[in-house]
Structure 1
Amino acid sequence: MSRAKVCRLTVDRVVYIDYKDINLLKHYVTERGKIIPSRITGASAKHQRMLNRAIKLAREAALLPFCAD
């Protein structure tokens, strides 16, 4: 039986995920540019919603690619 995944953002007491923090966002995006689901990353529902918004804003601001080539 595998261990339950723990939300790293909850452990670090993250209140706001900034869309300009590319180093953090890259951990939650595949090499093809797709957002990794929370069942794989272990992110809580609240933080997963914040991550989705931040990643989509970063894509619009051209900080992250929409899809990797």
Structure 2
Amino acid sequence: MPKERDNNDRDRRTRRGAGGRRGRRPKVCQFCSGDLEITNYHDQRMLRRFISDTAKILPRRRTGVCAKHQRRLATTIKRARMLAIIPITQKLVRK
């Protein structure tokens, strides 16, 4: 004898798949659009936008930078770390 489904099961399934996630706008590379430039490694304020709280380089999917500029940005950040302009690591504060 098959198990009867109640309306709650059907409602749960339709809620999950129907409108669960909105479409996101595609991120446009800030360097390609001309808003920012990777001029030198001395610009701390610009470089810190692409570094996490623990001083890791943020991935492309998070920043919206194209592959070409992500590579340039990574080398610029690494150069700034070598010259001690930005920190290599940050303390991890656990709550």
State whether TM-score is above 0.5. Answer: yes
Matched position secondary structure for 1:66: coil
Q: Which has the higher contact order (CA 8 A, sep 6+)?
A: 1
Higher helix share: 1
Task: Give the Cα separation in 1 of the matches to 2:72 and 2:81.
Answer: 14
Identity percentage of aligned residues: 36
Unaligned runs of 5+ in 2: 1-22
Task: Give the Cα separation in 2 of the matches to 1:44 and 1:55.
Answer: 16
Matched position secondary structure for 1:28: coil
Q: Rg bigger for which structure?
A: 2
Q: Deviations over 1:11-63 (max 9, x none)?
A: 11656441111111010001110000011101011100010000000000001
Partner residue, 1:19: 41
RMSD: 1.5
- What is the aligned residue count? 69
Q: TM-score, normalised by structure 2?
A: 0.67
